């Protein structure tokens, strides 16, 4: 199994459906920027919702950019998990489960920001009234089991962060869970971090930009043009890239 081309990816990007993201983060703008800087694969991973992914996939069609259906889930333990699916239908199935497991808290737009849905013309069409940046009712194990059951993959997000990381919230990565890849934040040197945490070294790591602004897309650690799709990453991601 060899990776023939120098593929570049950014698998952690928030659209304007995430209240913390800039309003210019429409799927169309994200795709244009990703193509401009030469990315091959991206994932739009909004907090606890896949609401803008279908429109984004429509917009990316025939563009040369491949979108991996994704979401950033917050578990009951306040752990952020990046969830990826091989096809849109599985993500949407998971989205239904997520929506049933979100608490009913109204979004305070002035405080948290707008949560906007867009269509295949990249226009705003509706607002999500329920706050998406909250802990869901699903546990870490329930998310891993549910996502894997739909053919998806779970990647603990920004494991180095002092908040919302599996290391901070649970103290460790449960060894009996099926986790192959972890994400290390772009501002933390992955090499140094793994030196300090040798027990994490057997995981394959990835760095996403966690972009909330267009100018951050593709900034994945030392890499300014997306994270390189290494052979070891490819082994796990292959079925998500077709």
Task: For Zn ion, give the closer residue by CB, 119 or 188.
Answer: 188
Q: Which residues pair with 223 in a beta bridge?
A: 220
Helical H segments across 66-152, by residue range: 88-100, 109-112, 140-149
Give least dist CB 127 to Zn ion, A. 20
Alpha carbon distance 188, 208 (integer Å): 12
Beta strand pairing call for 116-118 and 124-127: antiparallel
Q: Which of 81, 58, 29 is nearest to 213 (CA)?
A: 29
DSSP percent split of the chain into helix, strand, coil, nearest 5 = 30, 20, 50
| Smallest separation (angstroms) from Zn ion to the CB of 144 | 16
Cβ nearer to Zn ion, comparing 185 with 238: 185
* Nearest-approach distance from CB 78 to Zn ion, in angstroms: 10
Query: Cβ closer to Zn ion: 28 or 70?
Result: 70
Q: Which is nearer to Zn ion, 80 or 219 (CB)?
A: 80
Residue 207 and residue 14: Cα distance in Å, rounded? 15
Q: Rounded to an integer, what distance in angstroms lies between the CA atom of residue 114 and that of residue 107?
A: 8
Binding site for Zn ion (CB under 5 A): 72, 80, 157, 210
Q: How far is the CB of 109 from Zn ion (least distance, A)?
A: 19
- Looking at residue 215, the DSSP 8-state letter turns out to be G
Exposed / middle / buried, residue 121 (Cβ in 10 Å: 0-12, 13-18, 19+): exposed
CB of 231 to Zn ion, least distance (A): 26
Q: Which residues contact 116 (CB under 8 A, 6 or more apart)?
A: 16, 17, 23, 124, 126, 127, 128
Which residue in the shown chain puts its C-beta closest to Zn ion?
80
Strand, helix or coil for residue 171: coil
| 8/212 with CB nearer Zn ion | 212
| Closer CB to Zn ion, 55 or 132, in the complex | 132
How near is the Cβ of 212 to Zn ion at its closest, in Å?
8
């Amino acid at each position: 199994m060899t990776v023939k081309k120098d593929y570049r990816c950014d698998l952690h990007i928030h659209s304007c459906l995430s209240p913390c993201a800039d309003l210019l983060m429409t799927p169309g703008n994200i795709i244009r920027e990703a193509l401009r800087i030469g990315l091959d694969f991206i994932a739009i991973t909004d907090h606890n919702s896949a609401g803008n992914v279908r429109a984004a996939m429509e917009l990316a069609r025939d563009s040369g950019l491949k979108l991996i259906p994704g979401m950033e889930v917050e578990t009951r333990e306040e752990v952020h998990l990046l969830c990826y699916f091989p096809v849109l239908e599985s993500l949407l199935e998971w989205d239904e489960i997520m929506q049933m497991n979100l608490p009913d808290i109204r979004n305070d737009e002035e405080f948290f920001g707008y949560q906007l849905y867009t269509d295949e013309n990249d226009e705003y069409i509706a607002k999500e009234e329920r706050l998406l940046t909250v802990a869901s009712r699903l546990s870490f194990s329930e998310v891993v089991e549910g996502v894997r059951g739909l053919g998806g993959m779970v990647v603990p997000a920004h494991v180095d962060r002092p908040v919302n990381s599996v290391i901070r919230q649970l103290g460790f990565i449960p060894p009996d869970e099926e986790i192959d890849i972890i994400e290390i934040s772009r501002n933390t040197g992955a090499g140094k971090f793994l030196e300090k945490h040798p027990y994490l070294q057997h995981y394959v790591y990835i760095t996403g930009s966690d972009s909330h602004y267009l100018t951050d897309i593709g900034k994945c650690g030392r890499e300014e043009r997306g994270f390189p799709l290494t052979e070891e990453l490819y082994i796990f991601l292959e079925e998500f890239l077709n």
